[in-house]
Amino acid sequence: MANRYWCSECTFRTPWLAGPEGRRRQIEHYARKHPGTQPGGQVETRRRCAGGDRGRRHLCAVVVLALLVTAVALALVIMATGHRR
């Protein structure tokens, strides 16, 4: 699961980050860009394909590709058995 924090003062948002890292980045952003403002804005949460890092995104792509290959293989098997009948 990953969170993305949106700034309520400007268009800034953190990358998808797991755990307290996103909150930390948001607080850092407020300290730098909006000194004296209480950190606010909304938090976006997602469960699948979490993380802004390339490794996890790559893993997601591999899973999707594997599913596609399985679907195509299944379709081919169904077509092949259909011809024999």
Residues of this chain that bind Zn ion (CB under 5 A): 7, 9-10, 12, 33
Smallest distance from Zn ion to CB 13, Å? 9
Cβ at position 22, least distance to Zn ion in Å? 14
CA 26 to CA 84: how far, in whole Å?
A: 62
Cβ proximity to Zn ion: between 1 and 43 the closer is: 43
C-beta of 78: minimal distance to Zn ion in Å? Answer: 54
For 46-56, b/e burial (b = at least 16 CB within 10 A) is: eeeebbeeeee
